[in-house]
């Protein structure tokens, strides 16, 4: 039981292609909405996965974001999505939870070192309301540092407390390299790729590498749709909950609208 709880907790440790978490620091491409002080978006995904691990047991997700950005570079926002990993973990291990939602808040500061080099540093808190009998609680805070140069963005995340309910895992981290390339002859079509590595302090058997590759298309400055494949090299056995391997290779489709 203890091992199942550990592994299931990894499901939350998630970057969609980390769309909701990281788009703010991505280079702007044709078809993206122009930056505004206050913006909101809603998206529908065929499944919510984060860092390659399914958060909704391969079921669809509806997500929303609200972001505020100052000309000085300070930015803050919130992200909400339906979630299922805690519910399935509790059911498999014989207890209950009322959690059905992930609700994050984040803030940071981004600035240009040069015309082409953008740095971003901040903090993000992942909250899982009504998590019930989970102990330790899955709520997690990470600090991060990112840099964008042209089509490439690198990011590093560090957990300042136990990471997503995994006991004694303070100091766990995640690093990724993401690429976003608009096709010159079709500027509304953008190719996207990512490779990252998740490490859990004192729980090395949970570590894994994740990859993602796909494309998105901007039908209008506010409406975008896309599809990508994702996979990991995680050991499938411990990541299987209620007969579903949350770490396996899958295709994910989405559509998003920015207000």
- The pTM for the full model equals 0.87
The widest CA-to-CA distance across the chain, in whole angstroms, is 55
| 19 pLDDT above the threshold of 60 | no
Name which of 102, 47, 109 is nearest 76 in CA terms. 109
- Collect all residues with Cβ–Cβ distance below 8 Å to 38 and sequence separation of at least 6: 66, 67, 68
| pLDDT tens readout for residues 98-125 | 999 999 999 999 999 999 999 999 999 9
> Distance between CA 180 and CA 145 in Å, rounded?
18
Please, are residues 226 and 253 in contact by the beta-carbon 8 Å criterion? yes
CATH number reported for the structural domain that contains residue 140 in this entry: 2.40.160.40
Collapsing DSSP to helix, strand or coil, 246 comes out as coil
In total, the chain counts a number of residues equal to 259
Total domains present in the chain: 1
| pLDDT tens readout for residues 29-77 | 444 455 679 999 999 999 999 999 999 999 999 999 999 999 999 999 9
> Distance between CA 7 and CA 9 in Å, rounded?
5
Percentage of the residues of the chain whose pLDDT score is greater than 70: 86
> Distance between CA 12 and CA 130 in Å, rounded?
15
8-state DSSP, 33: P
Q: What own/partner pairs with CB < 8 Å and gap ≥ 24 does 85-88 have?
A: 85/8, 85/11, 85/12, 85/54, 85/55, 85/56, 85/57, 85/241, 85/246, 86/8, 86/12, 86/128, 86/131, 86/132, 86/134, 86/138, 88/8, 88/57, 88/241, 88/242, 88/244
Mean pLDDT of 225-239: 94
What does the pLDDT read at residue 3? 40
Q: Which domain holds residue 163?
A: 2-258
| pLDDT tens readout for residues 118-127 | 999 999 999 9
Q: For residue 253, list its beta bridge partners.
A: 227
8-state DSSP, 196: E
Among 101-110, 130-139, 178-187, 208-217, where is mean pLDDT lowest? Answer: 130-139
């Amino acid at each position: 039981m203890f091992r199942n709880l550990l592994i299931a907790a990894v499901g939350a440790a998630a970057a969609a292609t980390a769309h909701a978490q990281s788009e703010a620091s991505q280079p702007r491409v044709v078809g993206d909405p122009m930056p505004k002080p206050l913006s909101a978006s809603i998206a529908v995904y065929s499944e919510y996965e984060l860092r390659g691990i399914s958060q909704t047991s391969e079921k669809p997700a509806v997500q929303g974001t609200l972001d505020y950005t100052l000309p000085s570079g300070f930015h803050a926002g919130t992200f909400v999505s339906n979630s299922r990993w805690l519910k399935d973990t509790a059911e498999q291990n014989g207890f209950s939870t009322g959690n059905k939602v992930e609700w994050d808040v984040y803030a940071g500061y981004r600035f240009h070192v040069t015309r082409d080099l953008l740095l971003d540093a901040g903090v993000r808190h992942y909250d899982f309301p009504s998590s019930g009998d989970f102990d330790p609680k899955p709520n997690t805070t990470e600090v991060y540092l990112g840099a964008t140069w042209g089509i490439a963005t690198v990011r590093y995340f560090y957990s300042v407390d136990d990471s997503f309910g995994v006991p004694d895992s303070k100091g766990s981290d995640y690093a990724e390299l993401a690429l976003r390339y608009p096709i010159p002859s079709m500027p509304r079509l953008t190719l996207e790729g990512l490779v990252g590595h998740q490490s859990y302090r004192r729980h090395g058997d949970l570590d894994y590498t994740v990859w993602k590759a796909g494309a998105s298309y901007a039908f209008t400055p506010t409406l975008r749709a896309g599809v990508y494949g994702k996979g990991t090299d995680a050991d499938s056995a411990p990541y299987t909950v209620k007969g579903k391997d949350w770490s396996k290779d899958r295709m994910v489709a989405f559509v998003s609208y920015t207000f």
